[in-house]
Structure 1
């Protein structure tokens, strides 16, 4: 199949006229190609003309913005080096730091053009790199696969009159709420998905993954008044993979929306990207495809507009005088991608509705995604969530694919999905941990053979700290099933003004360079180099630099300033086990694009 086209989403300054695709000067935001990610360089702050000398406050802000952009670029490029070297954890820390510096700077990002450009550039680049790691199977999520239509990119189809005639006969008994047409173009895709081993496997896996989301998506389509069989548009877009990302255009998610802030009523910032939320993005898809249908009055043209852009389709109709997809196809007025896009989706619908005729009876659909939802208004680390729900970080990442980090956002409410049946347990257990400690503290249920010392060692904390927070008296033994709050210390790198400082740690009795290095995820040699140490001996009370400037330690990513309180307000220890956006639709002339 030919190279995918990028569509342009109208900016706010564009008048929503049906015949325009976008502002002439506006181009889609390009995410970097993962194989050759760019090195970001600082964008100079534009200086005013001599005749327009700004006041002192303006000059001071311009200087501060330039310094911030320089720091952000340094952190991003450090992450880029780590990414290229395969050090994904270190890269993630650097990338998080580059975004955190802007979010916590105290500056109005959107009102300062240079800073807004920097924010959009960094977030787009980081998202592309992090999701590319997932595509390679190096993240918490499974390795991403090509969508079926992507797999058919270079395939050509010869007419098969016999197959077309048989399909027309079968169509009489195929029940669908979407208008189905069979011709040589549709038959070509059915032939490919049936006889090509690669095409058949890709379609099979897509339909298996669909089982996880089918009930939810079809419910949304029904509520929005959209044919439920349009669920199979996801076969063409992503193969039902919620974290699918196009490295060239930056389009992402199951429905492959472009990364424009606020478009389609989906939130996108340094913490979350709702294009990757299966439920919210499906709602956005249903509303957008219905809007396109209302504009063109034809489902095939609506699909073409979804792929190529409504402005492009409108112009093709006006040029030829034909508001008919197949006529535009035959006259060569559509790009190759769109020519394949519509018949490919029709083929997927027909085959999914008739599995026995097309050797799809071996499909083993993934079980429906079921989960509890808890609104979270402050930051919570997913490792803590995994602790209190007796699940794993991988499970939580799978349930919350829109999260760009292993921590929920600050300053906004996030609908956190947790394993079904764990909501009550989550709320009881999380209440034992102060809100400002939930980015670093952990939760642990005592297992057989464990002691306070062994638990402290596993979390790299001191046993006395666990005892203090949980009101455990000296000499008291732990019982099987006891629930403990683990006070893992955060490392804070960002001040209230947004300045980034070197991370330091004060040596405590019993610490060694090895235990400190292990605690902060660095090497002993790095500690020696950063602190100019000539030996491995360190004395209690000595302050050590535990990371390079501008890099966040794992526990400190997005952490709030440590409060003066050292204890949880509620004891979590017991002698026996106890349970402790306004929607913004794109204009009718806007265009989404992906690949």
Structure 2
């Protein structure tokens, strides 16, 4: 049996057989004579001990990640166990290294495995009516968690989302909605979040806030779309109002870009905002979320008047209906983030390994979306590119040589499909197409043929007029589309008409000077 097969029990969260075998074989390993140990031998033995310590740490971290349902965690745990076995074998060959000394390490891991044996194995059903199915109702030392303090407990331990949702009908209703009518939004939110996780999660982690809370807010606020805006003026993945965003360091920067749309900046501001609310609301998550949605002034006033439990009728009734819905929906999304398997929920497994995409030729995100296709992601990669590169509009021509944030899969697809060939040509022609050219007038050129179509016979009669050097803006046009139509450099066109990035605001009827254009 291979080591991979031996350690496969890790994936089922049962006691790994390979640990038992390792402990069993230790007494039979020959220990090289230690008395003749040289300085080099001691250094080698110390290096083996360091490797064992590091492998143990990796294994423990993987166990935590497996309990949190994180992709790739089981494989990381198996790799760590294999490293421990390698160290044991090498120790048996190294002068002065005593394999018996490593028994303590394996005993610690065996005990950890036994302590977690009450966790349901893969394929086993947890009772959804169990009042404490995950041990969430106890704190270190065995003390019970009072009902009113359960949600706040997660602030000090990201692995313990301690709200007892099965006893809260409002949160149960939220779970029901996420699993039925809003299931697509939940899965989309999760996929969008996975791509942005390296930018967003570290800010919450530094603030001591759980990742599940970050996901719950993101899912409810924007479904993980960084350019999301509301009728009230909230913007970005975490939906900050303009004034609140300015208080926490986000808003228009020197270039005119609104950093509320930037995942890193928005999550940093959100973590700071929640930390401030928690500090003044005695670490009450429900009230902090109510303040996030319904106004911090209202939450502060209610709390100062003695309202310490959001679910008390006297407190609950003081918040608007939107906030009463918002709080349980965020908590429900966070709960499902931690416990998808219990509810038969399978989050998408996406390849989010970050990479840099260097454009070999000018392109828009629209054009890239078309040529990349949907290999590995049924929805395609438009949202990925927009979320990772929020400074660019989808129709903006991005110059060659620009480095975009992407993933390894996106880079591979770009090199295969977007630099040359029929698909690249088709994508380019599609984004350059102008609906106005669908109507053919006497003396005008025929619309440009699609890739692969037969070239129409030349139009006889009046020759085509030379390309205009000015353009009158039509309703619905953007500067990016005008630049594509005339083959303009977007920056030169904007400067010639005194338009500021990133909005490049133009209006119908406006006359533009076509500077930097080839068409």
TM-score by length of 2: 0.45
Q: Over alpha carbons, which structure has the higher Rg?
A: 2
Larger proportion of helix: 2
Q: TM-score scaled by structure 1?
A: 0.40
